[in-house]
A and B are shown apart, each in its own frame.
Chain A
């Protein structure tokens, strides 16, 4: 066997290994999805989305849970978007590259890796007790906002970094101020990337149960929250509660609720893909 034949063989082997690795992930995902769909699809109907919690599995619904989830999504994005994006812009465009900056950088990266339950404890103490917000939607949204803040900051910085230096130079050369350059050139060019990161961060927040249970989110809430100060429940808590019930019919409910949760997540991801696509087309240099 010549050297080049050997190399080609190695190439083929690695290619096969790569396909194998990709398939493992996809097959596991497919099995999971099919399993959940078989278990839960038949359970989803209009009443399931409209009914309140109940001891009878066939009458129990996720009305208050999915509304709570939407509230949490909207409120935590209202809180985390402006803060995270502004912080990202500051760190990338204005912050001086000194020791303080690298200290902040390390800490933000570390924060992104802190287990979510720790954020729950923080939220319980600061928002729940010190600020006196209790187990309200606002406490939950602020806690989850904190949780996704580091992710938003990091993705914002990455997207801004990807804008070529020459664009900024050209803008300055035409007499634009720093702010004008950021607002009219850098932000539009990086907006697709920022939005993608932001929405992926939200998808993570949608799936959290642990920090919300810690701050005092409930399992049985028979009313849809009507203000940010109301108590609430979310889909992951409802799923967790149902899956630990003795009756098998509740497991079916859990599967159905998982499908709804997946639909919300996939919709968010779809929006992320759409936005990136749209903004990429818009940027013409």
Chain B
């Protein structure tokens, strides 16, 4: 039968290509390190972990690292069942997720790996908004604003009597949870009548084409679309971390003065994972390289001391669960791939 022949052909083609493309790696690569590392979670953190994993495959070519993008919530669900080693997260773990993990006998650790600044943007033709306070943002985003706050002059009387159109992250994302926590005060609570998308580029397009728009998304998306968008300085009315309205930038996000919308991005590692030498090696590699790599792809690195502190935190966690120091790994240590 013809379709069987076609199948054989396809299989042969696959095999040929697999054989033709051998791995490329550094000369000082660690060829003894083997096994799998499975990572899943936030699509916001994905590019950072992807960048580290890309470099790690030159350092340890025989380790198979895979990364999924089921979102912070989806990642935690798998993480607390012990189905994955590392969870990418753009928010902290919730109490019920942590409880589920403990119920399955898992201990875990939260590690900050980079910052992101949720940027408030309007259309470049919008000439009335020069700055905005957190209280004003709350007034337009809180659940009570639904069907009530519909015009710019309801927020600040000197703003024009025009409709306001809101654009924001999809409600299943960690970004949405963080934003509502920081602005409204309750995680996962906001008005429902705004344009929501899991794809930030859709929000960029929306705000870029709508003079009455106001939206929020990660700093990298603003950086890449500066010509189409206007960022608005945010005033948290707290002089202790920088007075007045503050624009997001590398410096203000890094030193924390762009509050409350600068947020940390996390990795979560669980206790069975740190018993695998390849995961420990990967995490050590992560902390050595994530500073430079995260900046390269549009995120803001933590200060160096902070990376050292987080790395130490991880080493302590490993020591607690393996009973030995982490940096010296024996080459013959058991391979615990699943």
Residues of A at the B interface (CB closer than 8 Å) are 50, 52-55, 63, 67, 70-71, 73-74, 77-78, 81, 134-135, 195, 198, 213, 216-224, 226, 231, 241, 243-248, 251, 271, 275
Question: Which of B65, B78, B221 is the one whose CB lies under 8 Å from A222?
Answer: B65
Q: If A63-B21, A219-B67, A221-B66 touch, does A243 touch B199 (CB 8 Å cutoff)?
A: yes
Question: Which of B14, B51, B54, B201 is the one whose CB lies under 8 Å from A246?
Answer: B201
Residues of B at the A interface (CB closer than 8 Å) are 2-3, 6-7, 10-11, 13-14, 17-18, 21, 38, 40, 43, 46-47, 49-51, 53-54, 57, 64-70, 78, 83, 198-201, 218, 220-221, 223-225, 293, 296-298
- Interface of chain B: mostly helix, strand, loop or mixed: helix
Chain B min CB distance to A228 (Å): 12
Q: Is the CB–CB distance between A71 and B50 below 8 Å?
A: no
Chain B min CB distance to A182 (Å): 16
* Interfacial chain B residues near A54, Cβ < 8 Å: 54
A-B contacts, 26 of them at CB < 8 A, read A52-B57, A53-B50, A55-B296, A55-B297, A63-B21, A67-B17, A70-B14, A71-B14, A81-B3, A198-B3, A216-B78, A219-B46, A219-B50, A219-B69, A220-B53, A220-B67, A222-B64, A224-B18, A241-B69, A244-B198, A244-B201, A246-B200, A246-B223, A246-B225, A247-B298, A275-B2
* Interfacial chain B residues near A243, Cβ < 8 Å: 199, 201
Using CB atoms, name the residue of chain B closest to A274: B2
Bound CA span A221–B36, Å: 11
* Interfacial chain A residues near B298, Cβ < 8 Å: 246-247
Q: Is the CB–CB distance between A222 and B199 below 8 Å?
A: no
Q: Is the CB–CB distance between B201 and A218 below 8 Å?
A: no
Q: If A67-B18, A220-B65, A222-B64 touch, does A245 touch B47 (CB 8 Å cutoff)?
A: yes
* Interfacial chain A residues near B78, Cβ < 8 Å: 216
Q: Is the CB–CB distance between B46 and A222 below 8 Å?
A: no
Of A63, A245, A271, A275, the most chain B CB neighbours within 10 A belong to A245
Q: Is the CB–CB distance between A224 and B17 below 8 Å?
A: yes
* Interfacial chain B residues near A217, Cβ < 8 Å: 68
Q: If A244-B201, A246-B201 touch, does A78 touch B70 (CB 8 Å cutoff)?
A: no
Question: Which of A78, A195, A245, A251 is the one whose CB lies under 8 Å from B7?
Answer: A78
> Given contacts A219-B68, A220-B46, A245-B201, could you give 4 more A-B pairs where the C-beta distance is less than 8 Å?
A55-B50, A70-B14, A222-B66, A251-B201
Q: Is the CB–CB distance between A231 and B66 below 8 Å?
A: yes
